[in-house]
Amino acid sequence: MAPSILHLINWGYSVSGFGVGLLVGVTGVGGGSLMTPLLVLLFGIHPATAVGTDLLYASITKSVGTLVHGRNKTVDWQVVRRLAAGSVPATAITITVLSHFERHGFKPSALISNVLGIALILTAITILFRGYIIQYFANRAQAISVGQTIGWTVLTGAVLGVLVTLSSVGAGALGVTVLLILYPTLPTVRIVGSDIAHAVPLTLIAGIGHWFLGDINWSLLASLLVGSVPGIILGSQIAANIPDRVLRPILASTLALVGGKLVG
């Protein structure tokens, strides 16, 4: 069995997985923001295959994160349910629409590439200006009722469902920023834990949908996991030694440049 598993591994992908895992461990930014454009631009992977494979990759890695956060009681399951109430049906509808397009001979690779680019630019803006965004909406968010908060949370889940299904990007930086605005009294660690927990069913359902569309490369998936797990562990250990004020602009600029290259 071991030789057959090793036969699946492409060590070039594993090295890339290690690099992305390292950055994810250091920055906390979702792997999709880094992994998917790397696969498309550097390795020439078809956009749909890159997105579908990265979604299953994310569901596996974030399941581990959810177990840790769940054990530490840093997941607000009520928030997770509200997000999922929007994201799960939105994901299912998006997959159905993609399937309809493919059955009629339309290959949505250009659409996926453009959505990926836009998602990366939005993520870059969110990373760079998160503090200003939260501060701007802080007073406005305090004035909304509990019912409105629930409605906005469900709507956020729906938007993330569409965005993540098409691009595998957005569940992390965008989701956390909106939750920080909507739930200002919730500790940040519970915001992060809830966002990670919500990403598991979102990426799993979207990933399975792409699987049925034939957009999964299993050798690529195995290779990425082999590299990314030790990368995330190492990155998490050295994260405290890199100033956020230095890393944040570099990361945001990189994502914006890559996003701009993918759009159009």
% pLDDT > 90, the chain = 17
Cα gap 126→161, rounded to integer Å: 18
Cα gap 8→108, rounded to integer Å: 28
Half-sphere exposure of residue 251, counting CA atoms within 13 Å on the CB side? Answer: 26
Average pLDDT over residues 157-183: 85
Encode pLDDT of 4-61 as tens digits: 556 678 888 899 888 887 777 666 566 677 788 888 888 888 888 988 898 888 888 7
Q: What is the pLDDT of residue 192?
A: 80
Average pLDDT over residues 227-250: 72
Q: What is the pLDDT of residue 193?
A: 84
Cα gap 30→123, rounded to integer Å: 10
* Residue 112 confidence (pLDDT) above 50: yes
Cα gap 226→157, rounded to integer Å: 30
Q: Which two tokens stand for residue 61?
A: 């890695």
Encode pLDDT of 187-204 as tens digits: 877 888 888 889 889 999
Question: pTM score, two decimals?
Answer: 0.80
Q: What is the pLDDT of residue 115?
A: 84
Q: What is the pLDDT of residue 6?
A: 61
- State whether residue 135 is helix, strand or coil: helix
* Residue 240 confidence (pLDDT) above 60: no
The count of other CB atoms within 10 Å of the CB of residue 236 is: 15
- Indicate the domain borders of the chain: 2-262
Cα gap 32→203, rounded to integer Å: 10
Cα gap 38→44, rounded to integer Å: 9
Of 111 and 89, the one with more pLDDT? 89
* Residue 244 confidence (pLDDT) above 80: no
- Which of 108-117, 137-146, 211-220 shows the lowest mean pLDDT across its residues? 137-146
Q: What is the pLDDT of residue 118?
A: 85
Average pLDDT over residues 176-186: 85
* Residue 216 confidence (pLDDT) above 80: yes
Name the band, by pLDDT with cuts 50, 70 and 90, for residue 2.
very low
Cα gap 11→263, rounded to integer Å: 29
DSSP string for 44-98: ---HHHHHHHHHHHHHHHHHHHHHHHHHTT---HHHHHHHHHHHHHHHHHHHHHH
Mean pLDDT over each residue of the chain, to the nearest integer: 82
Cα gap 165→186, rounded to integer Å: 27
Of 248 and 211, the one with more pLDDT? 211
Average pLDDT over residues 61-90: 88
Q: What is the pLDDT of residue 39?
A: 86
Spacing of C-alpha 101 from chain mean position: 24
